[in-house]
């Protein structure tokens, strides 16, 4: 079977003898005799294509990929917001890209100053005593944070066993706690408002074996934990420490500060809040801010400034430090990007970014609430969670809505997360989208909700969606379990 041209493999377009170049063979440079046919690749079936066919092939492939440059990603939690091009310009400067991580600090004063400044800005924005930029992702920031909590409690001679984590938390939270040697105690959400139940926390901390709580604020339902200060006070009273998953910090920018609410340590997801590429748990940046209590345990090295000479240095002799969590000092060019974004916006701009994120999420909430059931119908922060409750009555599920949306030209929202909401559709427009784009997204969602109410809706509109794409509905479970990446398998 021949696929349509736009989805064909390069091998299927191959014509024997076609080449991407027409240079004469260099004289006297014959290939050495074949030792083994396999090693020389004699039997490899490589595509033979002209230069133009190769260019078109890869350009076509790139167009098949949905991207933030091409359209909106209404993903909740993962946050796919636009990363301004100026970040690439500054981080691509050869003065930064040519730095060697082992260069003596006297030669890289500018880089150290940038880290120092960024740390200080983040500490100010989130209300912490200090910040480390070493972690390479949000999840690694969590790891550094919980290790610091552990080191602190061990030094107090009160190493405890348990960490409380709300059921709605991102999966990396319990994973982190377990990796750091804790037992996870899951706590629920209040039925009336989706927030952490203080009474439950009070009951669970009576025994004195709880090292702390990992709380996401705003939480993964997009709601602000209004009792965060009371929660921190309670945990501190009971001898524990408070971890805040600050992945959703963009909703708090310039509005409120977790450090002021008694949080002891919080990681930043720089990709969500400060427009760096995500890095998928790896080569990104996930700084962590700490209260005074945890400063001695910060990962090593720390960037220090001598206020007399003005010189910047790396300090490595802190005996309380949890040690390194990343090679060298983390991913420096991510820090350049975050610094660029922050300096470009300035304090007022950051606050406006936070406000716009909240405003747009509430716009979506208001536009879609007549058509979709809302998990907790109250003012939200940066994201809003709908369910498929109304559509299910007509045989249409969340996954059908998500796939149908692809044909309307939008990436689907985050689906079936958080787990505490059945059939969840979690939408985060982000502050980088214009109102007209967000409105177009809402119109597409409304159109789909209306389709779901028509007789025989599933067959008519949803079965096999997406229908406009080169590939329709695939069996995602099978694809994940039997991953086939070679052309032969096709």
Ligand X SMILES: Cc1ncc(COP(=O)(O)O)c(C=O)c1O
Q: Which residues bind ligand X (CB under 6 A)?
A: 77-78, 137-139, 170, 172, 216, 220, 245, 247, 269, 281, 284, 286
Nearer to ligand X, 49 or 180 (CB): 180
Rg of the chain (C-alpha set) = 26
**Which phi and psi (to 5°) does residue 373 adopt?**
-70, 140
Minimum distance between the CB of residue 141 and ligand X, rounded to whole angstroms? 8
Judged by beta carbon, residue 151 or residue 165, the one nearer ligand X is 165
Tokens representing 458 are 């599933």
Our CB check for ligand X shows the closer of 380 and 465 to be: 380
Q: How far is the CB of 420 from ligand X (least distance, A)?
A: 14
Give the shortest CB-46-to-ligand X separation in angstroms.
37
The residues, any chain, with a CB within 8 Å of residue 155's CB and separated by 6 or more, are: 320
Least Å distance, CB 464 to ligand X, is: 31
Which of 271, 306, 232 has the alpha carbon at shortest distance from 141? 271
For residues 232 and 257, give the distance between their C-alpha atoms in angstroms, rounded to a whole number.
13
Per-position DSSP letters for 386-436, written without gaps between them: EESHHHHTTT--HHHHHHHHHHTT----EES-STTSTT-EEE---TTS-HH
Element (H, E) at 438: helix 435-452
Helix (H) or strand (E) holding 445: helix 435-452
Whichever of 332 and 461 has its CB closer to ligand X, that residue is: 332
Closest distance of CB 431 from ligand X, Å: 17
**Among candidate residues 263, 287, 256, 264, the one with its CA nearest the CA of residue 274:** 287
Which residue in this structure is represented by tokens 């191959």?
A: 14
Cβ contact 79:271 at 8 Å: yes
Q: How far is the CB of 137 from ligand X (least distance, A)?
A: 4
How far apart are the C-alpha atoms of 284 and 458, rounded to whole Å? 41
CB closer to ligand X, 87 vs 172: 172
Between residues 269 and 430, which has the closer beta carbon with respect to ligand X? 269
Q: Are the beta carbons of 243 and 264 closer than 8 angstroms?
A: yes
Nearer to ligand X, 288 or 452 (CB): 288
Q: What are phi and psi of 266, to 5 degrees?
A: -145, 135
Q: Which is nearer to ligand X, 222 or 423 (CB)?
A: 222
Closest distance to ligand X from the beta carbon of 60 (Å)? 30
Q: Which two tokens stand for residue 163?
A: 């960490």
Residue with the closest Cβ to ligand X? 138
* Axis crossing angle, helix 435-452 with helix 398-407, rounded to the nearest 10: 120
Q: Work out how close the CB of 170 gets to ligand X at its nearest, in angstroms, rounded to a whole number.
A: 3
Nearer to ligand X, 219 or 340 (CB): 219
3-class DSSP state of 363 = helix
Q: Give the shortest CB-262-to-ligand X separation in angstroms.
A: 20
With respect to ligand X, which residue has the nearer C-beta, 78 or 151? Answer: 78
Cβ of residue 78: shortest distance to ligand X, in angstroms? Answer: 5
Cis peptide bond N-terminal to 466, omega within 30: yes
Q: Which ranges in 44-183 belong to alpha helices (H)?
A: 51-64, 85-91, 94-97, 109-126, 138-155, 172-179
């Amino acid at each position: 079977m021949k696929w349509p041209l736009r989805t064909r493999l390069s091998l299927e377009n191959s014509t024997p003898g076609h080449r991407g170049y027409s240079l004469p063979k260099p004289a006297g440079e014959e290939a050495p005799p074949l030792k083994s046919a396999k090693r020389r690749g004699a039997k490899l079936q490589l595509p033979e294509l002209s230069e133009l066919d190769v260019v078109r092939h890869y350009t076509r492939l790139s167009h098949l990929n949905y991207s933030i440059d091409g359209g909106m990603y209404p993903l909740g939690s993962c946050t796919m917001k636009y990363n301004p091009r100026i970040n690439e310009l500054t981080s691509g400067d050869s003065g930064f890209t040519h730095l060697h991580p082992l260069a003596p600090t006297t030669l890289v004063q500018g880089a150290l100053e940038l880290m120092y400044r960024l740390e200080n800005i983040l500490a100010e924005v989130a209300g912490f005593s200090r910040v480390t930029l070493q972690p390479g992702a949000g999840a690694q920031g969590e790891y550094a944070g919980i290790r610091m909590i552990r080191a602190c409690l061990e030094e107090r001679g009160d190493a405890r066993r348990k960490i409380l984590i709300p059921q709605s938390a991102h999966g990396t939270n319990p994973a982190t706690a377990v990796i750091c040697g804790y037992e996870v105690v899951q706590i629920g959400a209040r039925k009336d408002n989706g927030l952490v139940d203080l009474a439950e926390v009070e009951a669970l901390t009576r025994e004195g074996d709880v090292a702390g709580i990992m709380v996401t604020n705003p939480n993964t339902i997009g709601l602000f934990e209004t009792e965060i200060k009371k929660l921190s006070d309670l945990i501190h009273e009971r001898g524990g420490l408070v971890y805040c998953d600050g992945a959703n910090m963009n909703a708090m920018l310039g509005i409120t500060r977790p450090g002021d609410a008694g949080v002891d340590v919080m990681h930043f997801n720089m990709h969500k809040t400060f427009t760096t590429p995500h890095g998928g748990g790896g080569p990104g940046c996930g700084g962590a801010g700490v209260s005074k209590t945890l400063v001695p345990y910060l990962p090593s090295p720390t960037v220090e400034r001598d206020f007399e000479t003005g010189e910047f240095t790396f300090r490595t002799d802190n005996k309380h430090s949890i040690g390194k969590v990343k090679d060298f000092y983390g991913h420096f060019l991510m820090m350049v990007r975050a610094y660029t974004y922050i300096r470009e916006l300035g304090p007022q701009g950051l606050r406006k970014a936070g406000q716009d994120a909240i405003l747009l999420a509430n716009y979506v909430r208001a536009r879609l609430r007549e058509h979709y059931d809302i998990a907790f119908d109250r003012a939200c922060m940066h994201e809003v969670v709908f369910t498929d409750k109304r559509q299910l009555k007509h045989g249409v599920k969340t996954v059908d809505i998500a796939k149908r949306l692809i044909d309307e030209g939008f990436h689907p929202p985050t689906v079936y997360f958080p787990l505490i909401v059945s059939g969840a559709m979690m939408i985060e427009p982000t502050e980088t989208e214009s109102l007209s784009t967000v409105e177009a997204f809402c119109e597409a969602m409304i159109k789909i909700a209306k389709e779901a109410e028509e007789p025989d809706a599933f067959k008519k509109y949803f079965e096999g969606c997406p229908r406009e794409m080169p590939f329709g509905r695939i069996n995602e479970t099978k694809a994940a379990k039997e991953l086939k990446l070679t052309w032969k398998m096709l």
